[in-house]
C-alpha cells in the first residue's frame, strides 16, 4: 500500500481524518472500569525467520462519528495488500454527549510471510479511514546473543 497522509486518505463522507488514532501492541487488558490497557506497544515486528506467526492486537479510537449506527473492524494487511488478519465487526453507536468510540481486536496468530511494510487498518462501514504502518524485518531482538 502506498504511503498516505492520514488527513488526505479519509473520504469526505466521514470527516474522520483528524479524529482517528490507531495503536498496535502485543496484548491488551480491560479493567473493571472498562478502561483499556495496552501492553508492549509496537511499531514493527522482528522475526527470526519467515514464515512466522505473531500475536498482535490493535486499538483504534474514533472521535466525532457521524450520527447513526456504524460497523467498524480492524484488519492487518501485508505488503501486497492482502488481508492476513481481521477482527470481528464491532457496532458503534455514539450516544448523545459522548463523541468517541473504541475498537479493539486481538489477532492470536498472525501469519507473516514477507518482510516489509504491513498495515493495521481501521475500517468503518467497509471503508478504510485510518492506517498504521508496521514494518516486519528478519533479525534478532536487541540484546539477543551474538556478541
pLDDT tens track for 72-121: 999 999 999 999 999 999 998 877 656 678 888 999 889 999 999 999 99
- pLDDT for the residue 11: 44
pTM, two decimal places: 0.77
According to DSSP, residue 120 is labeled E
Asked if 83 contacts 145 with a C-beta cutoff of 8 angstroms, the reply is: no
In this structure, is residue 18 part of a structural domain?
yes
- pLDDT for the residue 36: 83
According to DSSP, residue 142 is labeled T
In this structure, is residue 16 part of a structural domain?
yes
In this structure, is residue 101 part of a structural domain?
yes
Q: How far apart are the first and last CA of the chain?
A: 37
In this structure, is residue 146 part of a structural domain?
no
In this structure, is residue 116 part of a structural domain?
yes
If we measure between CA atoms, which residue out of 141, 85, 91, 119 comes closest to residue 6?
Answer: 119
> Quick one: what percent of the chain has pLDDT higher than 70?
79
Domain that holds residue 62: 6-130
- pLDDT for the residue 97: 56
- pLDDT for the residue 5: 39
Q: What is the CATH number of the domain that holds 86?
A: 2.60.40
- Mean pLDDT across 9-29: 67
Number of domains in the chain: 1
- pLDDT for the residue 14: 44
In this structure, is residue 93 part of a structural domain?
yes
Banded model confidence at residue 61, pLDDT cuts 50, 70, 90: confident
In this structure, is residue 48 part of a structural domain?
yes
Asked if 104 contacts 36 with a C-beta cutoff of 8 angstroms, the reply is: yes
In this structure, is residue 85 part of a structural domain?
yes
Amino acid at each position: 500500500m502506498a504511503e498516505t497522509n492520514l488527513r488526505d486518505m479519509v473520504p469526505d463522507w466521514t470527516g474522520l481524518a483528524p479524529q482517528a488514532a490507531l495503536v498496535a501492541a502485543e496484548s491488551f487488558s480491560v479493567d473493571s472500569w472498562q478502561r483499556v490497557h495496552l501492553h508492549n506497544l509496537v511499531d514493527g515486528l522482528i522475526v527470526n525467520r519467515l514464515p512466522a506467526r505473531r500475536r498482535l492486537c490493535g486499538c483504534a479510537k474514533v472521535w466525532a462519528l457521524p450520527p447513526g449506527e456504524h460497523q467498524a473492524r480492524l484488519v492487518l494487511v501485508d505488503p501486497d495488500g492482502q488481508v492476513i488478519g481481521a477482527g470481528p465487526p464491532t457496532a458503534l453507536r455514539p450516544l448523545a454527549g459522548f463523541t468517541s468510540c473504541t475498537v479493539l481486536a486481538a489477532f492470536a496468530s498472525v501469519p507473516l510471510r514477507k518482510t516489509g511494510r504491513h498495515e493495521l487498518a481501521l475500517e468503518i462501514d467497509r471503508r478504510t479511514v485510518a492506517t498504521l504502518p508496521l514494518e516486519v524485518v528478519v533479525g534478532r531482538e536487541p540484546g539477543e546473543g551474538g556478541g
